[in-house]
């Protein structure tokens, strides 16, 4: 009865979500549990060694399921507490929360499976360089890069603004140059470009209608520039794109339509504003990223897909090629009890003319053969298919989908193998927003925090949409609370 009263109070708090956040959890008259939740902070050492799951705020004596996922080239070692004492040597274990804020650290060891791989872990790790722009301009050059990579960054000013400087997260000035070369570090970073409103002739009348705006932008992978941002009809400017290391230029687009594949071109202003978007493709030449290995011309790779018991999951298989390919074959091995629907296999339209066949090698392994077609060089999704997760499948599991026995045929008949990167299928309970294999009050609080657009340690979208409307809001938090009331 006390638990029902407590959850009812939580539902009332959710109804006032506009003024309530995770750090405000402080009911006026909590009949249960009698003690305030205390923080459990999880860290990874080194940070690039893997991911940790289960952090949050818990009522003392709550049993919390903790787990780790080691990054490529690392193995899990142990968990330690704030005093350095070993808590557990198991990657997944149940931890009983104490009556205080606590920090647990998951330790990983660098242990590449291939002894020929480089010894520096940073060579196998890519970090996100995020660029932001204050009002008055736009930026380009962000993306995923290895540490110690020289990256070209560029800031473009809008009409009436001048560039001030670039700063990092700490507010320190990184550069006062609008365009400069930046050397990345072994961490995710954010750099912000600052601008100042400074019209050259504020007393001048507004531009005539015959003058229009030229805007250039990009998301990741390179820099863009234009020699003018506002032009009279019939006058011209030069638009230019430059790809950063690990990316290749795909083209300039206007409203999702390819305008030109030239890196640099001259544009003559027509009768309206125009916005050019440069697109780049992440395509690193590095053995740590199987999209484009150094020692092989071809790479097959899969991603992690996430779902809950009873779901039908869409599983893609990707391929990167340096040359045109003809016939190919490979084996895919799936987790026990998760069955692929081979009748659902769809081949990408870029893989022209292939006939696909498959043979069961075992209960979990299938041999795929693609013959009679041709695949042009590039990085593309080769095929996709569905897999079914049983209703009674054990949750909290993340198991590999393996690729092996790869054979590809070049146009001259030469047969070669390829690099591979395995994927994973992760299954969680419906409503388990933080992936700790429990559905409890913490998941409700995690959902509310996410809805309020505050930072969450972990939020698993695939199992958090309680009413399947593709929107995360109070209704989903109420749905989790309803599950708890029904237990």
pLDDT score of 7 more than 80: no
Nearest in space to 44 (alpha carbons), one of 93, 88, 104, 105: 105
**Ordered strands of the 339-347 beta sheet:** 339-347, 378-388, 312-321, 298-302, 419-421
pLDDT tier for residue 128 given thresholds of 50, 70 and 90: confident
List pLDDT tens digits, range 333-360.
999 888 899 888 999 888 878 998 888 8
Place of tokens 């995690």: 446
Place of tokens 């969450």: 456
- Average pLDDT, rounded, for the chain: 80
Higher-scoring residue by pLDDT: 200, 89: 89
Q: Where are the domains of the chain?
A: 2-112+433-486, 123-282, 298-427
pLDDT score of 479 more than 80: yes
Percent of the chain with pLDDT over 70: 83
The per-residue pLDDT for 2 is: 46
Give every CB contact of residue 145 below 8 A, 6+ residues apart in sequence.
Answer: 126, 127, 129, 151, 184, 244, 245, 246
List pLDDT tens digits, range 273-287.
999 999 887 665 433
Higher-scoring residue by pLDDT: 487, 212: 212
CA dihedral 68, 123, 456, 79 (to 10 degrees): 30
Measured distance CA(349)–CA(300) in Å, rounded? 17
The per-residue pLDDT for 172 is: 92
298-427 CATH: 2.60.40.680
CA 178 to chain centre: 29
List pLDDT tens digits, range 259-273.
888 888 989 998 889
Higher-scoring residue by pLDDT: 49, 149: 149
- C-beta of residue 406 within 8 angstroms of C-beta of residue 376: no
Q: How many residues does the chain have?
A: 487
Return the axis-axis angle of helices 441-451 and 474-486, rounded to nearest 10°. Answer: 180
List pLDDT tens digits, range 139-177.
998 887 878 888 889 898 888 889 999 999 889 999 999
List pLDDT tens digits, range 355-370.
988 888 888 899 999 9
Give every CB contact of residue 251 below 8 A, 6+ residues apart in sequence.
Answer: 258, 259, 260, 261, 278, 279
Nearest in space to 289 (alpha carbons), one of 433, 145, 463: 145
From residue 187, alpha-carbon distances to 149, 154, 157, 192, 284 in Å are 12, 21, 28, 16, 18
List pLDDT tens digits, range 59-115.
888 888 888 877 766 788 999 998 889 999 888 888 888 888 899 999 988 765 434
The per-residue pLDDT for 122 is: 37
- C-beta of residue 484 within 8 angstroms of C-beta of residue 432: no
- C-beta of residue 275 within 8 angstroms of C-beta of residue 229: no
- C-beta of residue 404 within 8 angstroms of C-beta of residue 286: no
The per-residue pLDDT for 296 is: 53
Please, what's the b/e burial string for 407-422 (b: 16 or more CB within 10 A of its CB; e: otherwise)? ebbbeeeeeeebbbbb
pLDDT score of 425 more than 80: yes
Measured distance CA(434)–CA(456) in Å, rounded? 9
pLDDT score of 33 more than 50: no
Percent of the chain with pLDDT over 90: 21
Is residue 108 helix, strand or coil? strand
The per-residue pLDDT for 90 is: 86
List strand residue ranges (DSSP E) for 81-228, in order.
86-88, 93-96, 102-110, 126-133, 137-140, 143-146, 150-157, 161-167, 173-175, 179-183, 189-197, 211-218, 222-226
pLDDT score of 300 more than 60: yes
């Amino acid at each position: 009865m006390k638990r029902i009263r407590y959850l009812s109070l939580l539902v009332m708090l959710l109804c006032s979500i506009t003024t309530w956040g995770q750090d405000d959890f402080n009911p006026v008259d909590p009949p249960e549990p009698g003690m305030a939740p205390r923080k459990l902070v999880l860290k990874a050492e080194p940070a690039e060694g893997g991911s940790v799951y289960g952090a949050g705020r818990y009522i003392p004596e709550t049993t919390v399921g903790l787990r780790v996922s080691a990054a490529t080239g690392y193995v899990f070692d142990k968990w330690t507490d704030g005093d350095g004492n070993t808590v557990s040597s198991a990657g997944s274990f149940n931890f009983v929360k104490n009556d205080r804020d606590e920090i647990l650290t998951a330790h990983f060891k660098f242990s590449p499976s291939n002894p020929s791989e480089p010894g520096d872990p940073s060579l196998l790790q890519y970090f996100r360089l995020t660029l932001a722009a204050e009002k008055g301009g736009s930026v380009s050059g962000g993306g995923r890069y290895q540490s110690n990579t020289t990256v070209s960054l560029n800031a473009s000013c809008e009409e009436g603004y001048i560039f001030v400087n670039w700063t990092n997260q700490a507010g320190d000035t990184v550069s006062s140059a609008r365009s400069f070369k930046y050397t990345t570090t072994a961490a995710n970073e954010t750099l912000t470009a600052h601008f100042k409103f400074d019209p050259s002739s504020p007393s001048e009348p507004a531009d005539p209608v015959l003058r229009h705006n030229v805007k250039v932008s990009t998301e990741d992978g390179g820099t863009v520039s234009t020699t003018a941002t506002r032009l009279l009809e019939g006058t011209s400017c030069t638009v230019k794109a430059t790809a950063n290391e690990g990316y290749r230029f795909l083209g300039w687009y206007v409203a999702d339509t390819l305008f030109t594949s030239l890196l640099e071109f001259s544009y003559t202003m027509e009768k309206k504003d125009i916005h050019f978007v440069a697109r780049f493709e992440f395509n690193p030449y590095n053995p740590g990223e199987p999209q484009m290995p150094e020692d092989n011309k071809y790479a097959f790779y899969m991603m992690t897909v996430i779902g809950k018991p009873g779901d039908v999951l869409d599983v893609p298989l990707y391929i990167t090629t340096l040359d045109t390919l003809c016939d190919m074959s490979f084996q895919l091995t799936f987790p026990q009890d998760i069955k692929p629907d081979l009748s659902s296999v769809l081949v990408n339209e870029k893989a022209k003319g292939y006939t696909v066949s498959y043979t069961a090698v075992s209960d979990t392994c299938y041999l795929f053969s693609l013959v009679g077609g041709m695949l042009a060089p590039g990085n593309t999704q080769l095929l996709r298919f569905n897999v079914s997760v049983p209703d009674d499948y054990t949750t909290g599991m993340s198991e590999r989908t393996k690729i092996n026995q790869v054979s590809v045929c070049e146009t001259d008949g030469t047969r070669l193998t390829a690099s591979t990167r395995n994927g994973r299928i992760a299954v969680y309970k419906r409503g388990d927003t933080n992936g700790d294999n429990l559905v409890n009050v913490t998941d409700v609080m995690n959902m509310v925090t996410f809805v309020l657009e505050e930072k969450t340690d972990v939020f698993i979208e695939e199992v958090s949409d309680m009413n399947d409307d593709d929107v995360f809001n109070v209704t989903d938090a109420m749905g989790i609370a309803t599950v708890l009331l029904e237990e």
